[in-house]
Structure 1
Amino acid sequence: MTRPAPDSFAVVLRRALQERGLGVAEAATSAMRRGVALTPATITHWCEGDIVPDPREDRELLDALEEVLRLDRGRLSAAARADTGVAPRRWTRPGEYGPELRDVLRQWAFPVDDGLERRVVVVTRFAEEIGPVRTRFEVVVEATRSGADRFVTVFDTSDETDSEPARVQAIRNCRRGRSVTTSQSQTLVEVILPRPLTEGETATVTYDWLFDTARVPPSALAIWSLQRLSALAVVVRFPDPDRSVWMRTALTSLGRDGSETRTGQPYARTRAGGVGAVLVDAEAGSVEVVWEAEPGDRA
């Protein structure tokens, strides 16, 4: 049997996992918290040499895994390039904004672990309002260490080609700090609490994300949580509570063992006073709500 080269991707990855004392499920969960969808099954295939990641297409995953394993930047990408013969190139693929945002956090000297666990997040989209598209976030945070006083929130308008960059308006118990909009139309904003919290202390903050668009306002809302939470609720409210709309939902949840679960409801008619979905007890996950006035094409 042919042995893999000492510096092959599979060998480098297995050695790094052993040195850090991490299993594939723990590594996948830690990577997910850094903003990527990396499953234990994928890491297992990589470790066994069944699959070698593309250092260009999978750069976001490799960057996150390098952080988890405390490897030098580019170590895994270099090993993957050696195995595949793929030449390096700058990350540019639409939607893969993780590396760019991580670069901003480094420039801000902002820690990956901000010391604030998002216990409950309630997100409300106010549909069909006159003016900017408005999405309200009500977030209950709990300090996992004393001194924590801020976190970062991200809003993505890359699908709204005619929209202006999104902006945050502080509503209650917080103020807006630094902000930046990436080349892919994702806006990152620092949310600052009135004072530092002590370990175990909780606080509730409320802020609105706003953006202007020249097109018909979007009829879909997808919210991601990259941290462990007790509940993520996404609600869509209309001016007329008696109106009915067609709605579908899709939920993705990452469990403590690294397993991924997908659930949801197909299109169904419902009253528009407040439609939505709730994700509970997840290490990370997402909730998507899609609505329309008429049946239309409900693929």
Structure 2
Amino acid sequence: MTTPSLEALLRIGPFHSALRAAIRRRGLTLERLRLRLAQQDVAVALSTLSDWQQGRVRPVSPKSLRAVSVLEGLLEVPPRSLLALLENAGPSGWPDVVPGMMPGFNANDLEVLSRHDRVFVDADRRASRVEAQVVVRARRAGVDRFHAHYYGDDSAETAQVRQEPVRNCSPGRSTLDEAQGLVVHELLFDKALSEGETWVFEYASHDPTGLESIEYAHGVRCFLAQSLIEVHFDPAALPVDPHVYLQDWDEPEPHRTIDLRLDHSGSVHHFETEVSVNWVGIRWRWA
């Protein structure tokens, strides 16, 4: 699983991901960053900085843009690199065209409020089925679809992966990138949503590629209020050392956070709120 570097994010955006990656690379807390801005007579609230890096709000006023210009110096990124991302973005905050990215990456018209995935690992140690329930809220009127991105394990034959609509959605277009192990399916809602309207839908992913699985993760582009991952293991294939991990765009390797124990049914789960890192997942080993 690879993630864009800070340098790549400064080229393609979006602004909030690039800002967050730059802050993390400098090792600054938001409070320290706020104090350094204040030392240069730039007043920005802590909550505003948080909103900017999570994609909830974009700086658009002259005062906010001046703050971004000062931030570029404090974060040691090239002059106007963050400002250019704001200037070249469409109404969603993402660039109108992002070369080399799959459908759905350059759209930010749905806010994912909650995601609950149930992963089923069979006796052959394969995560052959994932059931997902997703709650979204429309950022604008007229949104009527969701792009489900599925990253297969290394060397997986991505073309074999299929995603099955289960409730409140129907199949649309699909595309794949074999080199990246990525397949994208368009899930169409039963209607176009109004701005601020929520929608609940379910779908299942089937991966018959036959490779042993050692992890499952949620990819978080901006902010996820609730993330629940359950992994159910067949009694004939119980793992060892299950644990939670987190990884951000600018981190080459994930870091372990919580050790998990199998319950009486051979399952583990992890529930997390207010997720702003780019990957939250569960890993395990085979004895």
Return the TM-score normalized by structure 2: 0.61
TM-fit CA distance, 1:127: 1.0
Deviations 1:37-94 (A, max 9, x none): 8333466222379xxxxxxxxxxxx9x99654418xxxxxxxxxxxxxxxxxxxxxxx
2:113 corresponds in structure 1 to: 119
1:70 corresponds in structure 2 to: 88
The 3 A distance-change label for structure 1 pair 169 and 68 is farther
In structure 2, which of residues 186, 190, 204 is the aligned counterpart of residue 190 of structure 1? Answer: 186
Aligned AA for 1:195? K
In structure 1, which of residues 286, 292, 295 is the aligned counterpart of residue 279 of structure 2? Answer: 286
Note if contact 1:251-1:279 (Cα within 8 Å) is conserved in structure 2: no
In structure 2, which of residues 78, 98, 101 is the aligned counterpart of residue 47 of structure 1? Answer: 78
TM-fit CA distance, 1:223: 2.0
Aligned AA for 2:148? T
SS in 2 for 1:38: helix
Identity percentage over the alignment?
Answer: 21
Query: In structure 1, what is the Cα distance between the partners aligned to 2:270 and 2:198?
Result: 24
Query: In structure 2, what is the Cα distance between the partners aligned to 1:182 and 1:67?
Result: 26
TM-fit CA distance, 1:283: 3.9
1:7 corresponds in structure 2 to: none
1:154 corresponds in structure 2 to: 149
Aligned AA for 1:203? W
TM-fit CA distance, 1:212: 1.4
The 3 A distance-change label for structure 1 pair 205 and 65 is farther
Query: In structure 1, what is the Cα distance between the partners aligned to 2:132 and 2:120?
Result: 11
Aligned AA for 1:120? S
Which ranges in structure 1 are unaligned for 5 or more consecutive residues? 1-12, 17-25, 50-61, 72-97, 255-260, 295-299
Instruction: Count matched residues.
Output: 214
Query: In structure 2, what is the Cα distance between the partners aligned to 1:123 and 1:172?
Result: 14
The 3 A distance-change label for structure 1 pair 111 and 248 is closer
Note if contact 2:161-2:209 (Cα within 8 Å) is conserved in structure 1: no
Query: In structure 2, what is the Cα distance between the partners aligned to 1:119 and 1:141?
Result: 5
1:297 corresponds in structure 2 to: none
Q: Which stretch of structure 1 is more off in the superposition, 135-144 or 282-291? A: 282-291
Whether 2:24 is the aligned partner of 1:29: answer no
RMSD over equivalenced CA pairs, Å: 3.9
Aligned AA for 2:188? I
Return the TM-score normalized by structure 1: 0.59
Query: In structure 2, what is the Cα distance between the partners aligned to 1:276 and 1:139?
Result: 17
The 3 A distance-change label for structure 1 pair 231 and 127 is same
Query: In structure 2, what is the Cα distance between the partners aligned to 1:270 and 1:219?
Result: 15
2:258 corresponds in structure 1 to: 265
Whether 2:191 is the aligned partner of 1:199: answer no
| 1:100-249 correspondence runs (5 A) | 100=100, 102=101, 104-105=102-103, 112-128=106-122, 133-161=128-156, 164-184=159-179, 185-215=181-211, 217-240=212-235, 245-249=240-244
